A and B are shown apart, each in its own frame.
Chain A
Amino acid sequence: MSSPSKRRDMDVMKLMMSDYKVEMVNDGMSEFKVEFRGPPNSPYQNGMWKVRVELPEAYPFKSPSIGFVNKIFHPNVDESSGSVCLDVINQTWSPMFELVNVFEVFLPQLLLYPNPLDPLNGEAAALMMRDKAKYEQTVREHCEKFAKPEDIANPSEDSSDAELSDADSESSDEEMAGASDP
């Protein structure tokens, strides 16, 4: 039946089928990293981040935990931990949402419209409020320094794409699907 574990698998699968590069962490379907590009028409547009996703046991009833792995200068992202303070993926999460929504809607919206009123990174928020131009410049500098696509994308571990293009490594898809504990 529509068990949570089935739903979890389907959500991850859908994410991959929408051409996101997904890199599994450990074995199992509950922790992975997703490559995420900054949305166009924002100071983040040339950046690429690895976003860590952890699905709690009660997913989709409980929200996934989301964090930026490489640094991002953003009022609502904690500078050192990369944690994201966003209501739709915390307080107002609904089981109707899927992982694809997080990467296609929630995170792009967050980068397009930061909310300096509820800051996790006070410096970024204060700068954005005081001097938008300088804030945007800092964002771009951070992107240049910490979020260059060529540094982030890891061609050797590029599993899901390789899968779809019929590469032959036997192990990668099981890793993706999450092998059971030995």
Chain B
Amino acid sequence: MYCSVLHYMVSRKRVVGVDMGNSLKKSQPEASLDRGSPMTVDGSSSEVVNDDDLNSPQLGVDMGNTLKNSQPETSLSKGSIIAVDGSRSETDIDENLHSRQLAVYGRETMRRLRGANVLISGLQGVGVEIAKNVILAGVKSVTLYDPGLVEALDLGANFYLTESDIGKPRATACAQKLQELNTAVVVSVHSSNITHGFLSAFQAVVFTNSTFEEAAAYNEFCRSQTPPIAFIKADVHGLFGSVFCDFGPEFIVFDVDGEEPQTGIIASITNDEPALVCCVDDDRLEFQDGDMVVFTEIHGMTELNDGKPRRVKNCRPYSFLLEEDTTSFGIYEKGGIVTQVKQPKVLNFKSLREALKNPGDFLLSDFSKFDRPPLLHLAFQALDEFKVQFGRLPAFGSEEDAIHLIRLAKQINEGAGDLKLESIDEDILRRLSEGAKAVLNPMAAMFGGIIGQEVVKACSGKFHPLFQFFYFDSLESLPDEVAQEHGETVSDNRYYAQASVFGHQLQEKLQDAKVFVVGAGALGCEILKNLALMGVACGGKGKLIVTDDDVIEKSNLSRQFLFRDWNIGESKSTVAASAALAINPYLRIEAFQNRVSPETENVFDDAFWESIDVVINALDNVNARLYVDSRCVYFQKPLLESGTLGTKCNTQMVIPHFTENYGASRDPPEKQAPMCTLHSFPHNINHCLTWARSEFEGLMEKTPTEVNSYLSKPEEYKASMVLAGDAQARELLEKVVECLVAERCRTFSDCLFWARKKFEEYFTNKIKQLTFTFPEDSVTSTGALFWSPPKRFPKPLEFSTEDPSHLSFIAAAAYLKAQTYGIVVPDWAKDFNRLAEAVNEIKLPSFTPKQGVKIVTDEKATSLSISASDDSMVINSLIKVLDENASSIAPGFRMISIPFEKDDDTNYHMDLIAGLANMRARNYAIPEVDKLRAKLIAGRIIPAIATTTALATGLVCLELYKIFLGHKVEKYRNTFANLALPLFSMAEPVSPKVFRHQELSWSVWDRWAIHGNITLQELLDWFESKGLTAYSISCGQSLLYNNIFPKHRDRLDRKVLDLAKDIAKLEIPPSRRHFDVVVACEDDNGDDIDVPLVSIYF
């Protein structure tokens, strides 16, 4: 009910407030927002943030309480009542919108976020990036503060400012567009001075571009509050950035890493001190020394089932020591599960002033620059001092200002006491000074991601905060030498800052670049924004091609920030392209709707690939990445690769001849549970959900499709089944007969009966059969207990309409079954009471387990022939049944196949899957899950948040500069980062593997070219001349030659080209004068040699 109210309010607000349709184009209705008092964007209520009732800074973030566990509900509801006169819950979360983010944060964190008020001061590039990420995350309110006016310079990094905004107040100029990102967040602008009273309304405040003294004063006030207000200071100058966090003297983190608690299945426990606990070797244990664990389900040593957390040590892959004296405990018999208990962690933050003198350990991002953070700590202090003394930042490229900065740094260093550096790298200070005025988009994107995440941490206690300083530079992105500018300096140009740092030459190269962005999802949206701001492909010769075959869905909107809900159903690439164009109208962008794959090589043909300068992957699956990688290797194009998973991301640079390609290293494939486990022996909820999803697909999608393929061509279908004549064909036919004859549903009551019967079959009869075949005390020939861990002994369920989960399973199954037959669900069936009455009428025969196994010998022959008789005989009799009943099926009747759709909460799909999984879990006494959790697991929803994406794409764009500068490999960086920890690990890319044979050497980037329309024999000879024996030659999927086939010798005199055309059916476009063959060969020792692809130019 709340949801619908919220929905109504949201849409109304949008209509009244902002002219959304126009906003993407240009002409903002210039709301006069420069009044001096804070006001919301839609102008409806200017007091929202300053409302006295809101001054309680405890909204939902009373960490002291929440952490003692399980009261968050209360503290939150308090927050929500304060928020809007108790009429609606502020904490309702739109789970369809936020499903990918919920997969990272969980409901509790999202609820805390919903209660948080955040201030962002400074709305240049970094500020707007932070605001975007925090608004997408879904806090309660974001207040923007920036007394400055928009300059042309700002357009290079603030994606919501346009040329028409120049001269307007910065915060107001971008507030409307920020509001559009998430109408559930109150976005407002504060225009008067920042007072203590004003600050006290927030849970987190972020200051970008404040002087140290200013910031330190705010920081002191924030710390003095109860609870303290989280304080973040961010400064990004050119290619240098720093973040400082102070979340108060005693900040409690309740989840330090965001990982699921680890579990193990116990095999034995000793009576000892400490006790040795061994687990089954099903999965490796991931406990770490010092972790706390609890036990459940232990037989024998039941004292451990008391729920008390105990500490572990000496953790091994399958065992650990437990800090407990178990000598007097019962003797371990069997069973038991050990589960990690996540421990909250208290962090004692220092104030800015204190931490400046005593910064502790710096978070390192690049081990090749381990001495950089202390230097940058000094450099940023010097820069602050420069601002104070000169009232401005150092001018672009000013030698004079650089000298001042170096002097100030030296002065500060002299008085730095313990922190005093022995030597100062003046060149680095000079670089900082020269570019300090610039806000570069890639840096802003990266820091916007990092700081956005810190705000989330501050508001929720989820994940480990940055403690406390982080310094970063990307000096490697600079040209070796910035060409001195001649002539006019165009300071009113949006690229002025970037051009000043990198030189106009590079700026021109960027603008004339031809870039291919593959994918317009989360990564794609951020990449396009970055490219537009950087001016990539915004010049006369430039071209930006983006392709994506997907359309926009609601769940995309929580992070794919170029999309709005009125774009749902539209092409991602088209909408993203026009949004990017709104950011920079000079962008020369073209949107395609093609998947990049072997099937679209007519679209993305040779000429296309050859015209591209650089490829940027923004993909979400490994296969597509591998394919683009292979094309980039083939056409020798640089590829910028990145990916995210929750708070983790990685970036990989693939530079022709310098680095290995993407496909050169692979992650191990995902672990799948063994089939037998899924079939009969699940031991965790994932097993149940995997089974449930596959049952859903069988019942609702595949079987109706199978029935339809019989119905549309009965004779052909029957013939193919007879031809196959195997067990699979028989199984398929059985299902068709079931749907059309044996269990054909004609009314909803039939569907209800079917659903009830399915319940009995799945959760009662099958379990009875299984436990009959394997009684609880079954032993193997060696005496081992059959039902030993990880197997769990199941118990059948007894159906009852009193049990709401039984009934909701029946309802979902019956509704969907009805849908497959096109039967309308009658209104009465939506009423669970009446549904229950109807279900209670259904009587099912009681089940007796089959005597399959205990057959006596002399009966065996007959029973065998019946139970496992010939499949073709059964097939024939099934076909006979179908024929006999063919007349009862109305002509043209078809079933409706229902493919699983996870993102629609009203379609009953997840109800059925969650029902199936949870009932099965109940059979096996596995803890059940709620529908959301079920959806995340069964829907294989990949956790995704805006912050990580922003970080990854910022890093990618820092590398993009290097490509156009033609940097050597040692200047590139691949990154792995995890914002939850936080961790940044940057390293030089790995060089490609070089193969050698005699005097030859080659890598994946090489191809061997042979000119001339040669014969197969000549090709073999060519290899022979290199001391290699070619024994197998193939083209595409086809084999042209292999020396094990004597017959292939007949081909030796034929042209390879003709063989390729005849055998491999190769079609060569008229424009192409070559084709490629794969050659397998060995050297004189008979060792296989991996040789490059061979291109024959005929």
Interface residues of A (CB under 8 A from B): 1-3, 5-6, 9-10, 13, 16-17, 27-29, 57-58, 61-63, 69-71, 73, 76, 78-83, 85, 87, 90-91, 116-120, 122-123, 125-130, 132, 134, 137-138, 141-142, 145-146, 163-164, 166, 168, 173-174, 176-182
Contact = CB atoms under 8 A, between A and B. Distances in A.
B345 to A, nearest CB: 35
B1039 A173 contact: yes
A173 B1034 CA distance: 13
A166 B1046 contact: yes
Contacts of B728: 80-81
Contacts of B1004: 1
A123 B864 CA distance: 12
A179 B1034 CA distance: 11
16 contacts: A2-B1090, A6-B1080, A13-B1042, A28-B1037, A57-B623, A58-B669, A62-B669, A78-B675, A80-B728, A80-B731, A83-B675, A119-B680, A126-B853, A127-B853, A163-B1045, A164-B1045
A54 B656 CA distance: 34
Contact of B672 (A28, A91, A180): A91
Contact of B1047 (A2, A17, A69, A173): A173
Given A9-B1032, A117-B780, A179 B868 contact: no
A177 B674 CA distance: 32
A5 B669 contact: no
B677 interface: yes
Contacts of B680: 119, 122
B996 to A, nearest CB: 14
Nearest to B667: A61
Nearest to B623: A57
B1065 A179 contact: yes
B845 interface: no
B1045 A129 contact: no
B868 A81 contact: no
Interface string B897-926: 000000000000000000000000000000
Interface in B828-856: 852-853
A61 B666 contact: yes
B359 to A, nearest CB: 45
B778 interface: yes
A85 B726 contact: no
B1044 A29 contact: no
B727 A81 contact: yes
B918 to A, nearest CB: 24
Contacts of A61: 666, 668-669
B987 interface: no
B1032 A76 contact: no
Contacts of B852: 123
B679 interface: yes
A28 B1038 CA distance: 8
B669 A85 contact: no
Contacts of B727: 71, 79-82
B483 interface: no
Contact of B778 (A13, A16, A126, A145): A126
Contacts of A3: 1078
B1061 to A, nearest CB: 11
B781 A134 contact: no
Range of interface residues on chain B? 35 or more
B1044 A164 contact: yes
Given A29-B1037, A118-B674, A6 B623 contact: no
Contact of A87 (B674, B868, B1034): B674
B675 A177 contact: no
B860 A180 contact: no
A179 B1038 CA distance: 5
Contacts of A63: 669
A85 B853 contact: no
Nearest to A141: B864
A125 B787 CA distance: 13
Given A80-B727, A117-B784, A91 B1065 contact: no
A87 B374 CA distance: 52
B1093 interface: yes
Contact of B780 (A123, A129, A173, A176): A129
B774 interface: yes
Closest 6 CB pairs of A and B: A177-B1039, A85-B676, A80-B727, A118-B676, A85-B675, A122-B773
A138 B864 contact: yes
B389 interface: no
Contacts of B1092: 1
A28 B1034 CA distance: 12
Contacts of B666: 61
Interface string B1054-1098: 000000000111100000000000101000000000111100000
B968 interface: no
Contacts of A29: 1037
B1014 interface: no
A63 B681 CA distance: 22
A90 B1090 CA distance: 28
A95 B455 CA distance: 43
Contacts of A27: 1037
Contacts of A127: 853
Given A76-B676, A117-B780, 6 more contacts: A1-B1091, A80-B728, A80-B731, A117-B791, A129-B786, A177-B1039
Interface of B: 623, 666, 668-669, 671-672, 674-677, 679-681, 726-728, 730-731, 770, 773-774, 778-781, 784, 786, 788, 791, 852-853, 857, 860-861, 864, 868, 1004, 1032, 1034, 1036-1039, 1042, 1044-1048, 1063-1066, 1078, 1080, 1090-1093
Nearest to B673: A91
Contacts of B1037: 5, 27-29, 177-181
A55 B681 CA distance: 27
B675 A123 contact: no
Contact of B1093 (A1, A69, A126, A142): A1
A27 B1065 CA distance: 13
B152 to A, nearest CB: 49
A121 B1048 CA distance: 45
Contacts of A80: 727-728, 730-731
A17 to B, nearest CB: 6
Contacts of B868: 71, 73, 79, 142, 145-146
A166 B1047 contact: yes
Contacts of B780: 116-117, 129
A62 B1065 CA distance: 29
A119 B1044 CA distance: 41
Given A91-B671, A117-B780, A126 B774 contact: yes
A180 B1036 contact: yes
Contacts of B774: 122, 125-126
A87 B671 CA distance: 11
A118 B857 contact: no
Contacts of B860: 137-138, 141
A164 B161 CA distance: 73
Given A10-B1080, A61-B669, A177-B1038, A17 B784 contact: no
Nearest to A28: B1037
Given A126-B853, A180-B1036, A132 B1047 contact: no
A16 to B, nearest CB: 8
Contacts of A70: 726
Given A6-B1078, A9-B1032, A180 B1064 contact: yes
Given A1-B1004, A81-B728, A129-B786, A120 B853 contact: no
B669 A13 contact: no
A125 B634 CA distance: 52
Given A13-B1044, A120-B675, A126-B853, A177 B1034 contact: yes
Q: Most chain-B CB neighbours within 10 Å: which of A17, A27, A87, A127?
A: A127
Given A141-B860, A179-B1038, A173 B1045 contact: yes
Contact of A174 (B786, B861, B1063): B1063
Given A13-B1042, A71-B868, A118-B677, A129 B1064 contact: no
